[in-house]
């Protein structure tokens, strides 16, 4: 039978760690109920070496985890605890993450490839804040009192926890996406069956251990590493899951929604991909615009749902801006996540690496001009250097990599039309020093998030989500509370007598 933990070595930190590799149900790590020998093998994307293997949860394991979550919802969580108690536990979990910030970041870097210091300071730093932000909300989730008439009747609303939530997260921000989903769900009183990505399940398992240590009752958070087509599909189609929250590709998001519609019509929130545009107008601070454009496409090696992969530059500054951009992009060091100099790591997997290269090669064969990159690196690891194409149809397929397509526009109207010419609507950015233009263009851009004179920065108290085929629902901010609550209206008669028959 598969082991429930593995010893891994973080060479760069000179550390050996024992990490859980089983399924986490009712606050315990357990083997699969019916396929104990099915494993998911994990690879370090910087070296292509094996890290360890974790248990692959089955459909039956999902059923068991959902039953545990249902029991907890009905007995020890849900409406059985006060918001104050939920807040205390969320804050305790944040304290434990802070205590283990280095170790979590090391494992995140090992499994995903991203630089250790970025994982520690941004991914985990932001996740700790996210837990504290929703800890603040837990005892402030209130309904309304509504006067129906002045003398005999009133109504009030309760914002009830929606119930058992399936949460399916991707590999690009394993801890951060965990926090975005877990924190509001727990604050609202929901229970959870979490399915991390099969590529990066390690930190979700480590966080599960912290869930137990923080003192959450058994069954409140359950974690089932599993293949998407097994565990993710089972959660989406489950008759006793009340809501599914998903982050990942549009193709899979569609399957999740279809499974929800064909099963119990569970509530669905989807945070999907994008092909996000950035516009640079001639009045912009070009140095700054180039910095933000680089951050937009190169942060997390471009593996970001809001990656600003289409850049449109006003024709009057085009040549100057492109050469500035190329010189800035060259400055980023993409390397092993444990190398202090690395500002970006490898792509997460061989599959992603091959996909990005197919795209780069097809761009070249179609005659696109390569202003930077476009060469494979020798040696091990799924590294792709920053690549900038100019003179290409910028509306190419979604690509999750450090690959930017740059085009030109003459007028504001043309810029808006190019930016909106996509079936996606997640993020968009504009750079201009004309305040009226900023207001006009930000209003016209069809996206859930528009950045003005910056790009890709998010805050836990500001909502995030997509329009068009980039998603449904909002994460973060007070808006996320709507995703995890169900509004009940209670009509109260304290004086009206009904004469019968009518």
Which of the residues are catalytic? 271
Q: What is the C-alpha separation between 375 and 353, in angstroms, rounded?
A: 13
Among positive and negative, which fits the CA dihedral 133, 134, 139, 141?
Answer: positive
Q: In terms of CB distance, is 12 or 227 closer to ligand NAI?
A: 227
Q: In terms of CB distance, is 179 or 188 closer to ligand BAL?
A: 179
Q: In terms of CB distance, is 87 or 303 closer to ligand BAL?
A: 303
Out of 197, 278, 306, 485, the only residue in the binding site for ligand BAL (CB under 6 A) is 306
- Contact pattern from residue 271 through residue 310 relative to ligand NAI, giving x for each residue in contact according to CB under 6 A and a dash for the rest: xxx-------------------------------x-----
At a CB cut-off of 8 Å and minimum separation 6, what does 410 contact?
A: 314, 315
Q: In terms of CB distance, is 25 or 207 closer to ligand BAL?
A: 207
- Do 253 and 272 touch, CB atoms closer than 8 A? yes
Q: What is the C-alpha separation between 331 and 334, in angstroms, rounded?
A: 10
Q: How far is CA 491 from CA 230, 433, 495, in A?
A: 43, 53, 12
Token digits of residue 180: 């975005």
398 contacts which partner out of ligand NAI, ligand BAL, none, CB within 5 to 8 A by kind?
ligand NAI
Out of 170, 335, 373, 381, the only residue in the binding site for ligand NAI (CB under 6 A) is 170
- Do 158 and 144 touch, CB atoms closer than 8 A? no
Q: What is the C-alpha separation between 475 and 483, in angstroms, rounded?
A: 8
User: Which stretch, 127-135, 147-155, 298-306, 321-329, contacts ligand BAL (CB under 6 A)?
Assistant: 298-306
Q: What is the C-alpha separation between 27 and 30, in angstroms, rounded?
A: 9
455 lines the binding site for ligand BAL (CB under 6 A): no
**What length is written for the chain?**
502
Out of 61, 106, 304, 482, the only residue in the binding site for ligand BAL (CB under 6 A) is 304
Out of 107, 256, 305, 347, the only residue in the binding site for ligand BAL (CB under 6 A) is 305
480 contacts which partner out of ligand BAL, ligand NAI, none, CB within 5 to 8 A by kind?
none
User: Which stretch, 26-34, 101-109, 231-239, 362-370, contacts ligand NAI (CB under 6 A)?
Assistant: 231-239
306 contacts which partner out of ligand BAL, ligand NAI, none, CB within 5 to 8 A by kind?
ligand BAL
Angle at 37 between CA 33 and CA 40, to 5 degrees: 105
Please tell me the count of residues contacting ligand NAI according to CB under 6 A.
Answer: 27
Query: Shortest gap between Cβ of 248 and ligand BAL (angstroms)?
Result: 8
Radius of gyration from C-alpha coordinates of the chain: 24
Q: What is the C-alpha separation between 17 and 5, in angstroms, rounded?
A: 10
Burial-class residue 56 by CB neighbours within 10 Å (0-12, 13-18, 19+): buried
Task: Return the HEC string of 431-466.
Answer: ECCCHHHHHHHHHHCCCCEEEECCCCCCCCCCCECC
Out of 226, 247, 278, 390, the only residue in the binding site for ligand BAL (CB under 6 A) is 247
User: Which stretch, 180-188, 252-260, 313-321, 370-378, contacts ligand NAI (CB under 6 A)?
Assistant: 252-260
What φ, ψ does residue 128 adopt, rounded to 5°?
-65, -45
At residue 70, the 3 state secondary structure works out as helix
Out of 400, 409, 455, 484, the only residue in the binding site for ligand NAI (CB under 6 A) is 400
Q: In terms of CB distance, is 173 or 338 closer to ligand NAI?
A: 173
Positions that interact with ligand NAI (CB under 6 A): 168-172, 195, 197-198, 228-229, 232-233, 236, 247-249, 252, 255-256, 271-273, 305, 352, 355, 398, 400
Positions that interact with ligand BAL (CB under 6 A): 172-173, 247, 304-306
């Amino acid at each position: 039978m598969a082991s429930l933990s593995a010893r891994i070595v973080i060479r760069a930190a000179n550390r050996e760690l024992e990490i859980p590799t089983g399924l986490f149900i009712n606050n315990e790590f357990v083997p699969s109920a019916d396929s104990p020998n099915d494993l998911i093998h994990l690879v370090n994307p910087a070296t292509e070496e094996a890290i360890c293997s974790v248990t692959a949860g089955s459909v039956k394991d999902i059923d068991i985890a959902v039953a545990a979550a249902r029991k907890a919802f009905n007995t020890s969580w849900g409406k059985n605890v006060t918001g104050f108690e939920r807040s205390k536990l969320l804050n305790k979990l944040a304290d434990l993450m802070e205590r283990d910030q280095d170790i979590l970041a090391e494992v995140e870097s090992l499994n995903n490839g991203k630089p250790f210091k970025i994982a520690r300071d941004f991914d985990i730093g932001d996740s700790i804040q996210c837990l504290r932000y929703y800890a603040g909300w837990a005892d402030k989730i209130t309904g309304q009192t509504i006067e129906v008439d002045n003398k005999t009747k009133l109504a009030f609303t309760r914002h009830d926890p929606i119930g058992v939530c399936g949460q399916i997260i991707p590999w690009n921000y394993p801890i951060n996406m965990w926090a975005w989903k877990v924190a509001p769900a727990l604050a609202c009183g929901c229970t959870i069956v979490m399915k991390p990505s099969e590529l990066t399940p390690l930190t979700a398992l480590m966080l599960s251990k912290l869930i137990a240590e923080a003192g959450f009752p058994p069954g409140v958070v359950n974690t089932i590493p599993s293949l998407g087509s097994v565990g993710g599909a089972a959660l989406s189609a489950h008759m006793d899951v009340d809501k599914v929250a998903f982050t990942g590709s549009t193709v899979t998001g569609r399957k999740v929604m279809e499974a929800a519609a064909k099963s119990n019509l569970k509530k669905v929130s989807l945070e999907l991909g994008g092909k996000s545009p950035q516009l640079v107008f001639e009045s912009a601070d070009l140095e700054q615009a180039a910095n933000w454009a680089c951050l937009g496409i190169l942060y997390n090696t471009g593996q970001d749902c809001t990656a600003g992969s289409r850049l449109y530059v006003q024709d009057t500054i085009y040549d100057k801006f492109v050469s500035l951009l190329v010189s800035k992009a060259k400055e980023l060091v993409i390397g092993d996540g444990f190398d202090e100099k690395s500002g970006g790591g490898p792509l997460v997997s061989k599959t992603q690496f091959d996909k990005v290269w197919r795209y780069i090669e097809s761009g070249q064969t179609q005659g696109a001009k390569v202003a930077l990159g476009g060469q494979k690196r020798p040696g091990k690891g799924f590294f792709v250097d920053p690549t900038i194409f100019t003179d290409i149809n910028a509306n190419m397929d979604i690509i999750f990599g450090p690959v930017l397509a740059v085009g030109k526009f003459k007028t504001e109207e043309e810029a808006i039309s190019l930016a909106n010419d996509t079936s996606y609507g997640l993020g968009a950015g504009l750079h201009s020093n004309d305040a009226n233009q900023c207001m006009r263009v930000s209003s016209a851009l069809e996206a859930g998030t528009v950045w003005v004179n910056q790009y890709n920065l998010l805050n836990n108290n500001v909502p995030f989500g997509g329009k068009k085929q980039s998603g449904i629902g909002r994460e973060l901010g007070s808006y996320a509370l709507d995703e995890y609550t169900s509004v009940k209206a209670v009509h109260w008669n304290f004086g009206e007598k009904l004469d019968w028959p009518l």
